[in-house]
């Protein structure tokens, strides 16, 4: 039982890392889109 809980905890930690990385990637993409939009609209 304890072993299973520790295994699940480890899976959650890994999942959390992946989710945080995806969020960081989305923020970067939004940042890039914002820069491009500003370049286009400032001309």
Where are the chain's structural domains?
7-43
pLDDT band at 30, cuts 50/70/90?
A: very high
pLDDT-above-70 percentage for the chain: 98
pLDDT at 43 over 90: no
Q: Note the Cα 24 to chain centre separation in Å.
A: 4
| pTM assigned to the model | 0.73
Taking the alpha carbons at both ends of the chain, their separation in whole angstroms is 63
pLDDT at 24 over 90: yes
């Amino acid at each position: 039982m304890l072993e299973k809980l520790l295994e699940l905890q480890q899976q959650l930690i890994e999942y959390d890392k992946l989710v945080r990385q995806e969020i960081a990637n989305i923020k970067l993409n939004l940042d890039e889109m914002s820069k491009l939009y500003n370049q286009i609209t400032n001309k």
